[in-house]
Amino acid sequence: MISAAKIIKKAKITVALTGAGISTESGIPDFRSKDGLWSKFNINEYGYIDNIINNPGKVWSMLRILINDLKKAEPNAGHIALAKMESMGYLHAIITQNVDSLHQKAGSKNVIEFHGNFREAVCLKCGKIYPIDYALQQEIPRCECGGLLKPNATFFGEPIPKDALIKSFSYAENCDVMLVVGTSAMVYPAAQLPEMAKRNGAVIIEINKEPSMITGIADYSFYGKAGEILPKIANILSKEL
Ligand code: NAD
C-alpha cells in the first residue's frame, strides 16, 4: 500500500472512479451482489427508460422506496477518505456512477455524476428540472407542462449526460493514476474509463471486496472494504513518505 501511495503522491492528476460498492457500508445495497437491488426488483421491469414510460406507477413505487433510503444514508469512512485526499491535493476528481450524492455530503468538491443523480427530477417532455421532493408529492409525478417526471439519473437505454461524458473521458485520457473503487465495471461506457486511462499510461489501483473485471488491468489490487482501505491510503498520504 505504501508504494501505491507513493505513486499517488508523485502523480500530477489522480482521479477516482467509484461505483455502488463504496456506498454499501452506508447501507445502500449495490446492484449485483447477492442482496443487491436487482435481486428484489427485476432489472428488465424497473431499470429501463421504457419501463418508466410504459408503467410509471409501478416504477415510481419502487423509486419512492429507493429515494427515501438514499435520503437517510450518510457518507462512510470511504467517502470521507476521498474527500480528505482531495483537500490534501492528492485527488483531483471523482467520477461516480452513484446517484446517492454521498461524495458531496462527505465534502468532495469536484464530483462528476456519470449517471446523473436522484436529488432532482427531470421532465421527459420539456426537460425542466425539479427538486426530487416535488416529484415525490405526486403518485405519478408530472411536470407543469403535463410531461412525465423521472429522477435526473440515467436509466438503461438512455445516453450518459453529455457534460459528464466529456469531462470523464478527458480525465481518463489525462490522469496519471486512476483509483477504481467498488465497481463491478460491467456497465458501459463507465467501464471503459479505466481501460482508457490504462491505454494512456495511467497506473490503475483497484479497491474492491473481491476481484472484478478491472483486476486484469490493475497495477495494484486491494481486496476488502473500501471504508477500511481508503482511510489507510489517505492516512499514509497525510504523512511524509
Ligand atoms: P455493481 O453493483 O455492479 O458492483 C458493485 C461492486 O462493488 C462489486 O464489484 C462488489 O464486489 C463491490 N463492493 C461491494 N461492497 C463493497 C465494499 N464495501 N468495498 C469495496 N467493494 C465493494 O455496481 P456498479 O459497478 O456501480 O454498477 C451498477 C450501477 O448501478 C451504477 O451505474 C450505479 O449508477 C448504480 N447504482 C448506484 C447506487 C448508488 O448510488 N449508491 C447503488 C446501486 C446501483
What is the 86 CA–ligand 1 centroid distance (Å)?
22
Cβ neighbors of 59 (< 8 A, separation 6 or more) are 46, 51, 52
Q: What is the mean pLDDT of residues 120-124?
A: 98
Between CA 93 and CA 11 the distance in angstroms is 13
What Rg, from alpha-carbon coordinates, does the chain have? Answer: 18
Candidates 26, 39, 183, 205: which one to mutate for ligand 1, based on the most atoms within 8 Å of Cβ?
183
Residue with cell 489490487: 221
Q: Is the pLDDT of residue 240 over 80?
A: no
Q: What is the mean pLDDT of residues 207-217?
A: 95
Q: Which three cell numbers stand for residue 147?
A: 410531461
How many CB atoms are located within 10 Å of the residue 10 CB?
Answer: 12
Q: Which three cell numbers stand for residue 199?
A: 491505454
Its pTM stands at: 0.94
Q: Which of 32-36, 37-41, 116-120, 166-170 has the lowest mean pLDDT?
A: 32-36
DSSP 8-state code for residue 24: G
Strand, helix or coil for residue 237: helix
- pLDDT tens for 160-180 read 999 999 999 999 999 999 999
As annotated, the active-site residues are: 115
What is the 175 CA–ligand 1 centroid distance (Å)?
23
The letter for the amino acid at 168 is S
Between CA 241 and CA 180 the distance in angstroms is 23
**Are 8 and 202 spatial neighbours (Cβ–Cβ below 8 Å)?**
no
For the chain, which domains are there? 1-27+75-115+160-241 (3.40.50.1220), 29-72+118-153 (3.30.1600.10)
Nearest to 19 by CA among 221, 166, 161, 214: 214
Q: Which ligand 1 atom is at minimum distance from the Cα of 185?
A: 25
Orientation of helix 77-87 relative to helix 226-237, angle to 10°: 20
